[in-house]
Structure 1
Amino acid sequence: MSDTENLLKLFLDGSHSNEFENDGHIQEYLSKLGTYKVENLLKEPDRLKNEAIILKEQIQELAVTNYKTFIETAECSKELYFHFNAIENKVDQLLVDIPKFEKNCIDFGEKSSGINDLRKLNTSTLAKSAKLLEILELPQLMNSFLSDGLYEDVLELAAYVRKLHHKHPDISIFSNIAADVDKAWLRMLHQLLSQLREDVSLPKCLQIIGILRRMEIFTEPELRWKFLQSRNCWLNHCLKEIPKQEVDHHLTKKIEVIRVKLFNILTQYRAIFNDDEHSPLMHITENKNINQNIIVFSWVKDKISEFFTILDKDLEGVTSIESIMDQCMYFGSSFSKVGCDFRPMMVPMFTSVIQKKFTKSVEDASRNFAKNIDKFTLIDKNHPNIQWKTNNEDQMQPPDSLLEFYPLAEYLNNILTTLNNLRLCAPIAIVTDVVMNLQESLVFISESLLKLYTQEHQAFTTSSKDAFTKLCMAFYDELVPFIQKCIHVIYQPSQIASKLGVSVNALQKENITFLDKSVIISHIKHLLPAKTEPDIINIMNEHEEILQDVTN
């Protein structure tokens, strides 16, 4: 224990030693007190009492003098006390709210961190906005290329977009752009195929097929078939535009259009799809076992079948068979250059139509004769015995004797018209049918003459009977031989025999190019006067001489 503490215990009875132990003024006073003498120490209590009285008086005087200040100080202290209490309450409340505030600060820090990242992203986006705008405008740029027909640029742009999408598959904007580009890709495919359905040149076809190959949508066989389908649409469109007013012009134009357009399509196909084994395009074929020629030849076969259908439908309505046949034969010969000569397939079709037309014309002539003979009568009519004229200058001149009997004359005119139409295009294959049709028609004429005789012979006078005999003789001696002569003009027996490798007598036995007169006059033979049958060989020789004169 120090001296100072001991002194404080002596002076203060140990009650307040701790309070004044560290007081500087006490320490200084004690140090000063230690320097006093005894006399001064004895006087020191009195001096302290006097000084205390003086201080008390001064305090009282100060209180009286400054009582207002003390009152204000007291009030201020009181107010400060209340404010300190309020502050203490606020501080307590603050201490309660500090954890919430701390949590909110943490949340704000996290949010502000995200906002900061977004700000950085926006700043980076703003800095690269030009490049981003270019990427966003890729679909619009591709559509612009498509509108301008810049297909090479479209291919490059599509490849670039797919590369971006493949590199960044998780970025949605690239996925959207790739989807838009795929839609434009399909539009380009439709646009290219639409161009193939129009009248395009070979260089344009080469360009379109080259682009379709680079698009890698179709395999090589599919591409070939798609090309033929598209060009077939163009061909059908050309056929639909042909006017249908005149059957001959319509069919002729159809044949010409099919020939020209089909040949152009095949030329384009062969130029684009080179099937040479040394061609650089052969490696494109995925399956080496596929015969690429089957595609084009099957398509050509379908087109030729469609052409035959058109021909079979329209051929019966035409008037000039020979011109149509010339067109078709030229069509077939031109296609022989590409290995598709179909001329032999058209022969039966034309032969059938010619035969039907000939048969119909002969039947019409027979029906017309039947109408005329029903109105014709020999009763009460004068038929003067006029000497029949012969024309040695023109052997093909119809007999003048037929003019006395207008049904026979008109019938012969109709038959001559039919034979003249046949002469322009007379197939050898129907010679037997031609002869049989004419023979049946002549048999019908013979039956009609017998019917006339049966109806009127009871009323015949001598002149009427002579006139009927003259009618039958005109039919037998003039009409039938003249028709036989016309048949031999069209189908010369010598040429037919040469082609068949037989003799003329063999033709006669088989009734090839020869009418059977015995069958024709079988119904009226008993009404004809007896007459020596001429030698058929002599008649044929006469016909040969006439043919030579006609040819010369």
Structure 2
Amino acid sequence: MADMLFMRSSAGSDINERAAAKAALEAAEEQLQSLCASHAGTFVAVERRGRALEMALGELLEKVQAVESQVASTQEALQQEEDGNDNTLAALSEKHRVRRRTLLQHSSLLELLELPSLMDACVRSNLYEEALSIAAFANTLERRHTEKNQVVMKVIAQVRSRQSDLRRYLLHSLKNQVTMPECLEIVTALRRLNSIDLERLQSERSDLERVHAAMELSLQVDFLESRDAWLDQPANITSAGFLSPIGSSSGGNNSAAKLHSTELLLDTIERYRTRMFEIATQFNAIFRAQQATSSNNHVSVSLLSMWTARRIHSFLKILSVELRVMENSASLRDALDASAFFSQSMGRLGSDFTSQLPPLFEEKLVAIVLGHWNEGTSQLVETLKISREVGVVAPLVSTAAIEQEPGNLEGSEGATSSVMMPPPRQLMALPPLGRVVNACLVGLNELRRCLLPGVFPKIRMALEKEFLLEIKNTLHAHERAVMTPGLRGEAVQLREVAKQMKDVTKTIIFPYLRGALELSLGNDAGAKEHFDKLRMVLYPPAPASPPPSVNDEKATTEKSATSESSHFTENIEEVAAPVATQSAGGDLTNEETNEGGWADEGFDDDIDVEQV
């Protein structure tokens, strides 16, 4: 009974375990399914990568199979090469001996490899001789090593590169201020460089004379080009010596700028003179002296002539530009003297350009004179315009006019010319015309400082065709304007003054200005002719009186007798009158003092001549 109970209990426990295991299995399957569902993307990616890996492995296998044949052939070739090498003891001993021999020449090889850097150091230290020696040694190395060793060829190429640097450095030295010995040393070094190049070409070319002549010509061209750069360099004094006056004061900026431009031009002329003469002298001393017996002498002469002609042309262009800023003939004369001296200095080298200077200075001199004249005419036009617009005659006339006596026509004290006639004082009645005459005389005064014969016809034509014609047209236009009906203000006086100004201009101003111009140009006869005509206009001679008759002679005799008796009586009264007046204690009356009437009509000697 007990056994049956045990059996039943054990069977029930087995059933429970199976049920639990089955439940656990189902739970595990459910968990596995959930995991698979959650990691489905991972499974897909693994599958894809597996497929890609299979394909890659297949391709690799195909390539390995394709290369197997090549590997076999390469292996056979390598085996044959190993069989051909001489790896015997004698071969290894020979290689060791060569390496030991190379090691013993280590210092010499280092010196050979240091040649380019050594030449570079010599060039930087201005050791021309040592650098040229290294360049010549490069040619020696090239001749010795005909088998074209790579190391030696590289060293030679680097040395020749430094040789080009040496040539550029020497030519750059000629662009600075160098003395004659220094210049000769530099040119000698350049010629040695040419000889080194010529030595290198000796085995390659047969026409060495032509090559040498071409090298010499190229050297001359390089010399002149380098010295050109030095010629164009401004001097130190022009850059530092005249900069301070320009900004010294605000009121004198204009005058300081003019002074600076004048001094700058003079410095430029002096710089061109000294440097061009020095360059030409150096060229003749270095090249022509050594080619005196050579057939290339005429080539150097023509080269120097072309260079001087080109530099003189550039100087004249600079001079024409700088002359435009000058505004007075004194500075123009200084520039002319400096340029003439420069031309004379170049004349010693056969390059005198004096004949090219007058056109430049004549044009500027005429422009300076015309500048003063145009200023006078513009001032006249402005004055007439203002008087018409305002309708006032006061700016056109003056009450300070003074009659000029015939005895004063020859000039006051200190007159430098007996032909010169002072400006007529009748012009003081018309101040605008007096200012025009002043402007003309100021322009003619510029001719005193720098008078050039070539300007004579130009000045005469300018006076007639520009200045006098402009004055005439201006006065005609003014007269037509004041004659227009409806003019306001002092119309009658303006018309009278306009007519008076035309008459004075025609009869007095034009002859006087023509005479002043001829006197300024040194034509005393022509000036005297114009001044004599003006004197005849100002002070015409008195008409001749008719011969006296018999009755007139008797009347004259009686009148003279009567005047003598009355004069005797007046003298007695004049002697007695002061005594009577003094005894009465009285003073002289105004009527007695101004008996002749000259006090009211006195001649004012303190007249401002600048108004005329």
Task: Bin the TM-score by the shorter chain.
Answer: 0.5 to 0.7
Q: Which residue of 2 aligns with 1:43?
A: none
1:305 match: 313
Instruction: Tell whether 2:333 aligns with 1:322.
Output: yes
Secondary structure in 1 aligned to 2:234? Answer: helix
What does residue range 21-420 of structure 1 map to in structure 2 within 5 Å?
Answer: 110=87, 112-170=89-147, 171-216=149-194, 219-238=215-234, 242-243=238-239, 246-275=260-289, 279=290, 281-282=291-292, 288=296, 291-319=299-327, 320-376=331-387, 386-389=401-404, 391=408, 392-393=411-412, 394=415, 395=420, 397-420=422-445
Give the CA deviation at 1:338: 0.9
Alpha-carbon distance between aligned partners in 1 of 2:393 and 2:159, rounded to the nearest angstrom: 99
TM-score (norm 2): 0.58
1:414-429 matches, cutoff 5 A: 414-429=439-454
* Distance in 1 separating the partners of 2:369 and 2:268: 25
SS of residue in 1 equivalent to 2:87: helix
- The amino acid of 2:133's aligned partner reads E
1:369 Cα shift?
1.4
Q: Report the CA distance between 1:455 and its aligned residue.
A: 3.9
CA contact (8 A) 2:400 2:429 kept: no
Residue-by-residue CA offset, 1:148-180 (whole Å, 9 max, x unaligned): 211112222221221122111222222111111
Deviation at 1:386, TM superposition (A): 4.6
Once the two structures are overlaid, the 10-residue window that deviates more, 159-168 or 480-489, is 480-489
State the AA in 1 paired with 2:271: V
Secondary structure in structure 2 of the residue aligned to 1:199: coil
Choose which of 417, 427, 446 in structure 1 pairs with 2:472.
446
Aligned-partner Cα distance in 2 for 1:328–1:431: 22
**Rounded Cα–Cα distance in structure 1 between residues aligned with 2:393 and 2:150:** 111
2-structure distance, mates of 1:465, 1:136: 104
Report the residue type matching 2:234 in the other structure.
Answer: C
Question: 1:104, 1:348 → 2: CA distance?
Answer: 93
Change (3 A) 1:369 1:461: closer
What's the counterpart of residue 491 of structure 1?
521
Does the CA contact (< 8 Å) of 1:491 and 1:513 recur in 2?
A: no
1:145·1:154 contact (CA, 8 Å) conserved in 2? yes
Distance 1:115 1:407, change over 3 A: farther
Q: Deviations over 1:56-97 (max 9, x none)?
A: xxxxxxxxxxxxxxxxxxxxxxxxxxxxxxxxxxxxxxxxxx
Following the alignment from structure 1 to structure 2, what is the Cα–Cα distance between the partners of residues 529 and 151? 86
Gaps of 5+ in 1: 1-102, 495-503, 521-527, 533-552
Q: Is the 8 A contact 1:439 1:516 kept in 2?
A: no
Q: Which amino acid aligns with 1:387?
A: I
Q: 1:232 to 1:405 in 2, by over 3 A?
A: same
2:381, 2:474 within 8 Å by CA — same for their partners in 1? yes
**TM-aligned CA distance change 1:389 to 1:188, over 3 Å:** same
* Alpha carbons 2:333, 2:449 under 8 Å: kept: yes
Q: Is the contact between residue 176 and residue 230 of structure 2 (CA under 8 Å) also seen in structure 1?
A: yes
Instruction: Report if aligned partners of 2:482, 2:495 keep a CA contact under 8 Å in 1.
Output: no
Whole-angstrom distance in 2 between the partners of 1:180 and 1:154: 13
Distance 1:487 1:461 in 2: 36
Cα distance, 1:456–1:165 mapped onto 2, change above 3 Å: closer
Instruction: Output the TM-score relative to the length of structure 1.
Output: 0.64
Unmatched 5+ residue regions in structure 2?
Answer: 1-79, 198-213, 244-256, 542-612
Q: What value does the CA root-mean-square deviation take over the aligned residues?
A: 3.7
Number of aligned residue pairs: give it. 401
- What is the CA–CA distance in structure 1 between the aligned matches of 2:222 and 2:426, rounded to whole Å? 70
The whole-number CA distance in structure 1 between the counterparts of 2:323 and 2:311 is 18
Conservation of the 8 A alpha-carbon contact between 1:169 and 1:175 = no
C-alpha distance in structure 2 between counterparts of 1:406 and 1:197, whole Å = 62
**Residues of 1 paired with 2:538 and 2:531: CA distance?**
19
Letter of the aligned partner of 2:114 in structure 1?
Answer: E
SS at match of 1:200: coil
Larger Rg: 1
**For the structure 1 residues 455 and 157, does the alpha-carbon distance in structure 2 shift closer, same or farther, using more than 3 Å as the test?**
closer
Distance 1:293 1:157 in 2: 35
